[in-house]
Amino acid sequence: MSREERKLRKHIEAHARRELRKALSKARVKDSKPPRERVNINEEEVDNVPSPKRNRIATVRESVLSPGFVAETGPGFCDVLCGSERIRCRHSVDVAIGDQVLFSPTRRRIEQILPRRTALSRADPHNPHLERVIAANVDVVVNVVSLKTPPLRPGLIDRYLIAIGKSGAEPLICANKVDLLISPEELDPLRPYQDAGIPVILCSAATGAGLDSLSAALAGKLCVFAGHSGVGKSSLLNALDPRLDIATGTVSEGNEKGRHTTTSSALYRLPNGATVIDTPGIREFGLWDVAPADLRRYYQEFGACRCAFSDCTHTHEPECGVKEALERGVISKPRYESYLRIFNSEK
């Protein structure tokens, strides 16, 4: 190689390194320091490029992917955590909060979503043929409800429980605002869930009642708070860690429906090691990909009943163990009625 060629090669390599550094620093959050190892690896790869040709270097740049964790999704963007960095990437339709991904820090693009352990999904409210993954890889889905203001909606709880059953995560019902209750009978609508073996925690973000039990149930896990708007999801998070200072809404007196204070999902780390995804409040929950014939497996209390037909849908068949248990009062009437309603609506 002539002296001129060597000079040219050195010049091109130095230029490539400068470009790569520029692209990497753009991808970093302004005030956070780059993780040393990753930058070194990238630079080594460029140093080892055998040819000075720019297109070869470009290929190396593209191939450098980092593992990350999706901590927020919003209109047109998603934030990926990688070590101590938080990198804003272009939105990708399939990505959900909680996803483990491989992404390109230079192109700020998610290249691959790693297989999900669990996925809580619903049908898109505007297009029921589209799946919306509310959160991925969560251990526990906390369905936050209130018995009063806004009033309890057992049909919505049942839909959540079906979606949670399908997601592969553990269910937990957190009944907030117990400070508003006057008599213990007001807790009766929660009994069928307790009887079916679903954990129910009674608490109040306002008085602090039950927060120790809630904190213990979440400790060290990836959790999602989901439920009707106005039930106190954000208030509970603030009560578990006052430093979070999340904006909360009010429940308008006229229709007792919560305002949609939280508009996109966000992720919070609690002092007890829990990571909680707070989701926007919803009013309706469209089930995703649950065939009517599969519905029965998400009603845990039906499991112990024996029917004459192994594929009994517990609707019209004779010698149905579920209907017999219903008559004996072993299965709750509101739960069975909600099963029928959902069965007929999903047909």
Nearest to ligand GDP of 280, 292 (CB atom): 280
Using the minimum distance from each CB to ligand GDP, give the nearer residue, 66 or 234. 234
Q: Which of residues 212-251 bind ligand GDP (CB under 6 A)?
A: 229-235, 248-251
CA atoms within 13 A on the CB side of 216: 7
Alpha carbons 37 and 19: distance in angstroms, whole number: 18
Helix axis angle for 3-27 and 54-63, nearest 10°, is 30
Q: Cα(21)–Cα(14) distance, rounded to whole angstroms? A: 11
Q: Is residue 262 close enough to count as binding ligand GDP by CB under 6 A?
A: yes
Q: Which of the listed partners (Zn ion, ligand GDP, none) does 47 bind, with a CB threshold of 5 to 8 Å by partner kind? A: none
Residue 198 contacts which entry, Zn ion, ligand GDP, none (Cβ below 5-8 A, type-dependent): none
Any contact of residue 255 with ligand GDP (CB under 6 A)?
no
Residues in a beta bridge with 201: 174
| Burial (CB count <10 Å: 0-12, 13-18, 19+), residue 129 | exposed
Beta carbon nearer to ligand GDP, 162 or 251: 251
Q: Is 151 in the site for ligand GDP (CB under 6 A)?
A: no
Q: How far is the CB of 147 from ligand GDP (least distance, A)?
A: 11
Nearest-approach distance from CB 338 to Zn ion, in angstroms: 16
Torsion-angle region of residue 197: left (phi > 0), alpha (psi -120 to 50) or beta?
left
Among 281, 295, 301, 339, binds ligand GDP (CB under 6 A): 281
Half-sphere exposure of 164 (CA within 13 A, CB side): 25
Please choose which of ligand GDP, Zn ion, none residue 279 contacts, taking the beta carbon within 5 to 8 angstroms, the exact cut-off set by kind: none
Place of tokens 């553990």: 170
Residues of this chain that bind ligand GDP (CB under 6 A): 176-177, 179-180, 204-206, 229-235, 248-251, 258, 261-262, 281
